[in-house]
Amino acid sequence: MSGSTLKLIALFSMLVDHIGAVVLEAAMVKVGYTETLENVYLFMRWGIGRLAFPIYCFLLVEGMEKTRNRRRYGERLFLFALISEIPFDLAFRGKMVDFSYQNIFFTLFLGLIAICAMDAIGKKSIAFFWKVLGSGLVFLTAIWIGEVSHCDYGGKGIIAIGLLYIFRRNRIHQIIAGCIAFLWEITAPIAFLLIGFYNGRRGLKLKYVFYGFYPLHLLLLYLISRALFG
């Protein structure tokens, strides 16, 4: 399974999750909660929607390892974090600006900064103790920033990215670490069954598909929910 196949699976999972979170939740507020609607909602969000973020965390680590320019990679993530914030706030908060919760690109950007810094420390010609100490401080600082900045998934998302990076040299160990990192989301570890079939190839060139899809689909879902349910 190529990286582009994993990315498309994650896109589908994210879309289903956000349809449930934005449109179906608005429907339940408008017409009232029913057992059928609630079951569909739970299936969309917890049955399908939890697969996306673990895959994106894995692909972030792969991207960091294989990109020819980490700085540009980070710049793209940060740019689309800014672009996506208004659609994100509209979809999930119903207003254009809300600093109480930040979109997933900020989490991925912070995670990338953390693992790039850890990688740079690991390559320095210093004692193993200082490498561990420096990397640990970077990791803990990134987790703290993820929490206080209220990024999507918060510090738990940074922990997942960090563990996938630490165990990146052994796929089995990486999958086990990823499953442990996401045990708090019951169905999320299923994503690592798919990751186990990853063949290390990029596949189709979909570099900007996720970047553009994320803000556009959030804006569209917001408009649909407003048109249908006010």
Name the amino acid, one letter, at 181: A
Check residue 163 and give its pLDDT. Answer: 97
Ordered by start, the domain boundaries in the chain are 3-229
**Would you say residue 210 has pLDDT above 90?**
no
- In 3D, which of 86, 104, 103 has the Cα closest to residue 95? 86
DSSP letter (8 states) at residue 151: B
**Would you say residue 209 has pLDDT above 80?**
yes
Check residue 206 and give its pLDDT. Answer: 78
- pLDDT for 191-204, tens place per residue? 999 999 999 998 88
Cα 206 from Cα 208, distance rounded (Å) = 6
Residue 29: which pLDDT band, with cuts at 50, 70 and 90?
confident
Residue 32: which pLDDT band, with cuts at 50, 70 and 90?
confident
Residue 36: which pLDDT band, with cuts at 50, 70 and 90?
confident
| Cα–Cα separations (whole angstroms), residue 213 to 12, 15, 126, 220 | 11, 9, 43, 10
| Least-confidence region, from 62-66, 71-75, 96-100, 109-113 | 96-100
Residue with tokens 């990823």: 178
**Would you say residue 207 has pLDDT above 80?**
no
- In 3D, which of 69, 32, 48 has the Cα closest to residue 229? 32
Residue with tokens 């960090």: 162
**Would you say residue 230 has pLDDT above 90?**
no
Cα 197 from Cα 55, distance rounded (Å) = 12
Burial (CB < 10 A; 0-12, 13-18, 19+), residue 35, is: exposed
**Would you say residue 1 has pLDDT above 90?**
yes
Name the amino acid, one letter, at 24: L
CA angle 159, 66, 177 (to 5 degrees): 30
**pLDDT mean over 15-27:** 95
Cα 126 from Cα 104, distance rounded (Å) = 34
Distance of CA 181 to the CA centre of its chain: 13
Phi/psi-derived region of residue 33, left when phi > 0, alpha when psi is between -120 and 50, beta in every other case: beta
**Would you say residue 44 has pLDDT above 80?**
yes
Contact between residue 223 and residue 20 where contact means Cβ atoms under 8 Å apart: no
**Would you say residue 104 has pLDDT above 90?**
yes
- In 3D, which of 102, 14, 91 has the Cα closest to residue 54? 14
**Would you say residue 122 has pLDDT above 80?**
yes
Check residue 167 and give its pLDDT. Answer: 97
Check residue 58 and give its pLDDT. Answer: 98
